[in-house]
Structure 1
């Protein structure tokens, strides 16, 4: 049988068609606009997502036996607020994960309601990108829209609804809303009350590998698929990427270098760090994970390459970098503010350490190293919980760079395993569809069968020592300039 994985990203939707043994038969990518109606705001039209998913799916399956397509599942950008009225029409554009408008509401939740209470209700504290602060913002600033809300959804779940007619979400994606009791896997009555919403306005919760429903007959006919094709809950993009890299079970790690960057540590047991610096979320394998998330990762390199020095030849720019561990230029990668571990939407990107002999290559290297150092910040929090890692998988657009993988390996002092497929969330979501259709008995079994390591980047003791010294300097920069960031608002 064949399975469709839909990765609903921030700039494009990527669709893959996978057969039962994990071989990718076809891939399609479709872009859609991103809107910035005010400084720090970030929105998209859910209708654009749906239009491109439909077009992309038709292209994806055009040369294949439609009768063989058994299931569709999803990985998707997390935290986005999609609100529907009583007719299931979109009320306003979706407010995305990297939107920074909710500073006031985030402070209210953390300071007035209190971080301790939030953590007891949801296992997390409020971050500007989370869904609950966005609801409070709509309630305060767009009361007419708020009064019309019949259903509250996340981005990928809007696509699942359009396919199946079922209002659903999964535990991993719902974990990032600040509306779910993560430990007990249910909606938090306290948080719903704080946000003035009801349980009836929330979608039904599923495990990521559970069937939500079948294709609606009219949608099946439009796509040319059987109405018996199953629609599977899917997962938040990071949990789906973790499935796609085999980061399931206990004590495994994945680093994602996408638009945002994450370090994702899977666990069979629920756990929270005392300062809530890391997100404590449910995982797509039915268990839990800890995650550190930085808002700008590969997007920092894209900003530097495309926007500042004006080149698309990333490989050529990186070829000029000769000496690792020797750079005296540092970069804080906080172009969209920062989440883990600082939780500061007002943080900004910063270069420091330039001299008259600083080169273009030094600046490029500083960008790559700055992202690695910021991921190390989250790894240090995990270490404080007694988590000891020896190796990590890696995925995302930035993972195509051998140099960046070498930097990651040495800054974090971890073996970096490179897998055969770089499809990340799209592959993970297709694997979830295969599990839901009983192709595999569990997510772990699917990962063991499908995910293959083809290379490992080993850290060098000499470079690890050099980067240890560099990191000790990097981690002093943010505390030194934090007050300046506050004054630049």
Structure 2
């Protein structure tokens, strides 16, 4: 007799991951398949929906094969998908994709987003985005990309001819609806055009307090020709795997397909973060802080953070996202880190482990070097087309005792944590009076004890690693919930704390000073102001004490 298994899929920016678990939450099999990311020019990111589906089929087949080889074999009873949030895919009347997907970190719609936000506020009220959408009309979100496509079609109709107007005019002519990547996979599996409630709240087109599409916004933006997808509660059944999908994936025809959630919310479930007072920090390509806020929206008046529905029906979260987190360290590895890649290959280790070990060799503050991590734009500082930088470089870097490249590496790690702290501070203010548990840290960065400790020191708050896997594991849990194997609360209770990193009080005191004196609002400060702020920080009592604590550590 076969074991009952539940499959979670994560349609990510660079690959599709799959994890299958049993009714006790034990991992049975996992697989991953990469697929291409296209960057036609700086600030633009695209993918082919067909390649998403192909990678998904390969991943599922790998998992199914692994389950069949087990003793006893396991059979997937339900599937649930997560994936990159906000990414826009247009569909025609035959449910076929129209052109490439525009991704969550694509900033081409910056001007259109500003125009759209002004339209919504002028036509529907100055507080419409705050009180109804509960989010800004962000350049890299679904709504702005739909508005972008509509505007390019309008330009084409006025005689403006270029690659963008031509391809999007043709797509817009035939467009009838839209989905995100995980919805596209659900469509391929079931034939149903559907979106989970979390997905709706990711678009800037949902009336969040009333849990429905903001059709007045569609009309004002001129995109009301589109029929938005039907919304489903996470954990509910959308449909069943069709015969065609079964042949493509190896899944059994009739397998349940369960409504999921965005990758950050799937990660929250995988980390056991469902209640007010719990916090998740996902450190991957981006850096995201997720905090449940209850059933009523808590909205930052400056719309620097986002409000979404969670995997728990009716429960909302507030989320702060730094687009460029782990990708900053990857940039160093790929552009400046040839020696680390070569050493990693020679000794059979992960190059990231070598990079973080090198960062450990210079003191807190990286000898005054600041890394601004906005290499793919940013939401918190409202810079959709922002750029990153190392700042504070001096000739001292050429001296052996400076640590040289170690300063650049440590500055990347520090800069990411400082940027995410901006979001953490906003969320703490929104949840004033709440006592927070240790922040649960997941993602690739959580595998580095050094980065975990750095996070605790910069946040000034305990950080915990857990038994949690990634977002695909969270969706495997939600697949089990949808199939009736266990409740969502029972799923969350399976996640255990592995290690708690307490802030080093001395080092944390310096980082707190550096954050307030140097990093916070640095994006809008002049070079002269930053120079003076860095000089004050490096000559402070807190810095001298932090260096001494670092030497002893």
TM range, smaller chain: over 0.9
Among 426, 445, 468, the residue aligned to 2:472 = 426
Contact 1:242 1:424 in 2 (8 A): no
**Cα distance between partner residues in 2 of 1:344 and 1:86:** 36
**Cα distance between partner residues in 2 of 1:118 and 1:64:** 47
Contact 2:89 2:100 in 1 (8 A): yes
2:388 is matched with 349
2:207 is matched with 181
Contact 1:72 1:430 in 2 (8 A): yes
2:443 maps to 1:392: no
1:40 is matched with 43
2:492 is matched with 447
1:20–1:187 distance in 2 versus 1, CA, 3 Å:
same
**Cα distance between partner residues in 1 of 2:20 and 2:33:** 15
Contact 1:121 1:191 in 2 (8 A): no
Among 372, 383, 396, the residue aligned to 1:332 = 372
**Cα distance between partner residues in 1 of 2:378 and 2:171:** 29
**Cα distance between partner residues in 2 of 1:159 and 1:390:** 35
Q: Secondary structure at the match of 2:235?
A: coil
2:522 is matched with 477
1:224 is matched with 250
2:355 is matched with 317
Which of the pair has more CA radius of gyration?
Answer: 2
Among 291, 316, 325, the residue aligned to 1:288 = 316
Among 273, 277, 288, the residue aligned to 1:251 = 277
Q: Secondary structure at the match of 2:276?
A: coil
Q: Secondary structure at the match of 2:80?
A: strand
1:377 is matched with 422
2:325 maps to 1:275: no
**Cα distance between partner residues in 2 of 1:208 and 1:163:** 17
2:81 is matched with 74
2:31 maps to 1:18: no
2:106 maps to 1:99: yes
The count of residues paired between Structure 1 and Structure 2 equals 479
1:25–1:481 distance in 2 versus 1, CA, 3 Å:
farther
**Cα distance between partner residues in 1 of 2:53 and 2:267:** 21
- The offset of 1:326, in angstroms, is 4.1
**Cα distance between partner residues in 2 of 1:396 and 1:199:** 39
**Cα distance between partner residues in 2 of 1:67 and 1:198:** 46
1:346–1:225 distance in 2 versus 1, CA, 3 Å:
closer
Q: Secondary structure at the match of 2:44?
A: coil
Contact 1:149 1:201 in 2 (8 A): no
Instruction: Pick which of 191-200 and 56-65 moved more.
Output: 191-200
- The offset of 1:261, in angstroms, is 1.1
1:87 is matched with 94
2:453 maps to 1:406: yes
**Cα distance between partner residues in 1 of 2:309 and 2:17:** 24
Q: Secondary structure at the match of 1:337?
A: coil
1:137 is matched with 148
Please list every run of 5 or more consecutive structure 2 residues that lacks an aligned counterpart in the other structure: 153-167, 342-350, 398-403, 528-553
Contact 2:207 2:213 in 1 (8 A): yes
Contact 2:460 2:512 in 1 (8 A): no
1:459 is matched with 503
Output one character per residue of 1:268-304: Cα deviation in whole Å (capped at 9) or x when no partner. Answer: 2322122111101111112110000111100001001
Q: Secondary structure at the match of 1:72?
A: strand
1:267–1:318 distance in 2 versus 1, CA, 3 Å:
same
Please list every run of 5 or more consecutive structure 1 residues that lacks an aligned counterpart in the other structure: 483-489
1:192 is matched with 218
Instruction: Pick which of 191-200 and 50-59 moved more.
Output: 191-200
1:487 is matched with none
Output one character per residue of 1:25-48: Cα deviation in whole Å (capped at 9) or x when no partner. Answer: 111110000111233111000100
**Cα distance between partner residues in 2 of 1:197 and 1:165:** 24
**Cα distance between partner residues in 1 of 2:140 and 2:183:** 18
Q: Secondary structure at the match of 2:10?
A: strand
**Cα distance between partner residues in 2 of 1:440 and 1:432:** 9
1:485 is matched with none
**Cα distance between partner residues in 2 of 1:291 and 1:451:** 21
2:349 maps to 1:304: no
- The offset of 1:111, in angstroms, is 2.9
Among 121, 127, 140, the residue aligned to 1:116 = 127
2:477 maps to 1:438: no
Output one character per residue of 1:196-232: Cα deviation in whole Å (capped at 9) or x when no partner. Answer: 3348621110111111011112222443332231001
1:225–1:110 distance in 2 versus 1, CA, 3 Å:
closer
Contact 1:208 1:235 in 2 (8 A): yes
**Cα distance between partner residues in 1 of 2:120 and 2:244:** 46
- The offset of 1:242, in angstroms, is 0.5
Q: Secondary structure at the match of 1:6?
A: strand
Contact 1:187 1:199 in 2 (8 A): no
Contact 1:181 1:187 in 2 (8 A): yes
Contact 1:263 1:375 in 2 (8 A): yes
Contact 1:260 1:295 in 2 (8 A): yes
- The offset of 1:193, in angstroms, is 1.2
- The offset of 1:251, in angstroms, is 2.1
Q: Secondary structure at the match of 1:267?
A: strand
Contact 2:130 2:136 in 1 (8 A): yes
1:148 is matched with 174
